[in-house]
């Protein structure tokens, strides 16, 4: 299958425009990264930072572990974020629904080994979740030791799709 086939929506009327995808990737509080090794899928929930300028998603974790091992064996990943809106009751069980938005990203993950990229990604995560706090003023900046014990993964985005449903949509 091609990336275009992976990202094609069955319900094109619910497609999220690219500016909606970008905004959603900036505001979503956490995401899920799927890896697979030997036909066994694994799903990791984590905080993330979307680097729009470089079209990358960054996640982090321990220096050793399943995520690192899986990506070393198979760099192809799927990343997803979603949110639920209002629950929509109906007169019949079949018509019950909900509002939602979701983005699915297909790409290749790699270990970020360049110290500048790694530090930028970790700072991007801190800035996303604690925008009111400044390194050197509110907390000690990231140390070399902390860099050594943390793995940072860059997901290079090959393609994505987003879909959404709002009340009143068919």
Per-residue pLDDT at 134 exceeds 90: yes
- The better pLDDT of the pair 7, 130 is held by 130
Per-residue pLDDT at 27: 95
The fraction of the chain above a pLDDT of 90, given in percent, is: 81
Question: Closest Cα to residue 105, out of 5, 6, 15, 1?
Answer: 6
Whole-angstrom distance, CA of residue 157 vs CA of residue 128? 20
Label residue 112 by pLDDT band (50, 70, 90): very high
Label residue 4 by pLDDT band (50, 70, 90): confident
Specify which residues 164 forms β-bridges with: 101
Per-residue pLDDT at 78 exceeds 90: yes
Average of per-residue pLDDT across 12-17: 86
Let me know: does 75 contact 157? Beta carbons within 8 Å: no
Structure token pair of residue 21: 């995808």
3-state secondary structure 122-142: HHHHHHHHCCCCCECCCECCC
**Residue 83 burial (10 A CB sphere; 0-12, 13-18, 19+):** middle
Per-residue pLDDT at 169 exceeds 70: no
The fraction of the chain above a pLDDT of 70, given in percent, is: 99
Per-residue pLDDT at 144 exceeds 80: yes
Question: Closest Cα to residue 150, out of 111, 116, 124?
Answer: 111
- Average pLDDT across the chain, whole number: 93
Structure token pair of residue 48: 């993330």
Helices within the chain (DSSP H only): 3-7, 18-27, 66-73, 115-129, 144-148
Let me know: does 103 contact 97? Beta carbons within 8 Å: no
Let me know: does 24 contact 16? Beta carbons within 8 Å: yes
Average of per-residue pLDDT across 16-39: 95
């Amino acid at each position: 299958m091609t990336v275009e086939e992976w990202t094609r929506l069955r319900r094109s009327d619910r497609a999220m425009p690219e500016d909606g995808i970008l905004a959603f990737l900036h505001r979503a509080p956490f995401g899920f990264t799927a890896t697979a090794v030997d036909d066994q899928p694994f799903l990791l929930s984590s905080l993330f930072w979307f680097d729009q300028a470089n079209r990358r998603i960054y996640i982090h974790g321990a220096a050793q572990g399943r995520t690192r091992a899986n990506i070393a064996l198979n760099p192809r990943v799927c990343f997803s974020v979603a949110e639920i809106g209002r629950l929509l009751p109906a007169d019949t069980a079949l018509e019950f629904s909900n509002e939602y938005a979701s983005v699915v990203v297909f790409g290749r993950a790699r270990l970020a080994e360049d110290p500048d990229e790694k530090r930028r990604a970790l700072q991007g995560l801190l800035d996303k979740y604690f925008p009111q706090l400044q390194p050197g003023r509110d907390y000690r900046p990231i140390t070399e030791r902390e860099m050594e014990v943390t793995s940072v993964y860059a997901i290079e985005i090959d393609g994505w799709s987003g879909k959404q449903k709002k009340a009143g949509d068919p």
